[in-house]
Amino acid sequence: MHTEEELKLKFWKALSSDMVVMLSLANVENAHARPMTAQLEEDRSSIWFFTSTENALVKNIGRSSKGVGTFVSKNHDLYATIHGKLTLDNDKVVIDRLWNKFVAAWYEGGKNDPKLALLRFEPSNGEVWLSGSSIVAGIKMLLGSDPKQDYKDNVARVDFRAM
């Protein structure tokens, strides 16, 4: 059985390794999710995304500050949907702190590139699921175990504000 706290920690560990989130604005018509590379800090209070001022998320952020992130770990053993506040936050101190060679490769003008935008996503709540598909789950089902009962301990509603 997994607690909410355990699933939250598993989520942060997977995100720090896999880093790609499908990010969108809630309540905006035709707001398609975009694959975005997450930048994390130790406090885990925000997820940061470098992007371009030409990105539809940046262009539409004034219409809604409610963001939705969808995450799948690379080995498909953890899934999450995250809701929270999405804002444009071009704080130079944060940009300096998060800047790295992978980000720099996208911006010819470096940290002062006029197309550089930094999004701040402050997760509030969501759901985290561990995959119920495994060899062990298959064997347990063959032996008569109810997969629904086993799986209920692999999902949790998560409050990301409580750390």
Q: Which of 19-28, 109-118, 151-160 has the lowest mean pLDDT?
A: 151-160
Angle at CA of residue 18, ends 6 and 66, nearest 5°: 75
Class of residue 105 by CB neighbours under 10 A (exposed 0-12, middle 13-18, buried 19+): exposed
Sequence-ordered list of residues with C-beta below 8 angstroms from that of 127, at least 6 positions apart, any chain: 80, 81, 155, 156, 157, 158
Reported as a pLDDT band with limits 50, 70 and 90, residue 140 is: low
Tokens of 94: 């944060």
pLDDT for 131 beyond 90: no
Domains for the chain: give ranges and CATH numbers: 4-159 (2.30.110.10)
Q: Which of 10, 7, 1 is nearest to 149 (CA)?
A: 1
E strand or H helix that includes residue 151 = helix 147-151
Instruction: Report the alpha-carbon distance of residue 154 to residue 4 in Å, rounded.
Output: 9
Report pLDDT for 161: 86
Tokens of 13: 């560990």
pLDDT for 148 beyond 80: no
Report pLDDT for 95: 97
Q: What are 36-63's pLDDT values in tens digits? A: 999 999 888 899 999 999 999 999 988 7
